[in-house]
Structure 1
Amino acid sequence: MTKQIVGMVGAVLGFLGGLWLILAPFAQGYQPSGASWADATVNDFWVGTGLALVSLIGFAAYGLSLREEMIARGILERRERKEEAAPEPQPQEQAAYAGNASIEQAIVPLLNEMLKDMQRQHQQEERENRPNNDTPYHQQEQYGRSSDNA
């Protein structure tokens, strides 16, 4: 755990050094205000930017390593991502139903009408499939056979 902390402190110092390199030409005064950048200013800027970026990456890497070390030692607990583990469904309480009351009031009449319509269609299909009394006997047998085979 000590090596991660020392690494993070070193990364912070490297980041501060990179910022200093970026700002030094202007703070020290060897880059005149309003003039195009001198070669030393361009060099300090790009070296400072690179050093700052590498230090940020190092800080993140040491931080992640420290976190893993703390999890391994039991100091921290690992958090699971929400996408990986879906929470188990909890029983709904009466308060949850109170918000759905208006939805139920709108849907229940529609469902009742759909049920009545389905029952009417079913009765109509039964009437159409039943043989009439004036149908000859051999056709009635065909109806009986076709329904037995189905």
Structure 2
Amino acid sequence: MKKIVELVLLKTEEGYRKEYEATYLHGTLNLRDIPVTFSAKDFDHIFFEPSGSPVGYQFSFRRARRMNFMRALLSGEIDIEIMFESDRGTIALFCEALECVMYLRIRPGTGVLQVGSFFDFGKDHTKMLRKQKKKCVPITIEELKEKVK
């Protein structure tokens, strides 16, 4: 079955910020039946990356164009691998088809997950995918639900 995940093409950081807020702050998204929350301040973490200069982090248009990938990973309509990264206590959603990973923080006692970060693997996607997966172990939805209880 054909699946289409759209890129978001905007000209400014502010345009992407407004799109993020409209899409992720005013709706309900779930990983299977577990609510996933997003906050306005998460934007500055999700869509910024190291600049390689003294400036530090800078807005990533490349990453922001792929913001709809996060919704696709949570939709249940695209194949993902759900894994647990024990070092950080986070859940990793790997999608080989979209060449990306989304990390979710477990919020114990709330029944909720919160977005941690999202990134695509770029030109070395196979190498980066393997590198990230080495840090993780598979986790079932039932095990995940226990962790957020």
- The TM-score by the shorter chain falls in which range? under 0.3
Structure (1 or 2) with the larger CA radius of gyration: 1
Per the normalisation by structure 1, the TM-score is 0.19
Per the normalisation by structure 2, the TM-score is 0.19
Query: More helix per residue: 1 or 2?
Result: 1
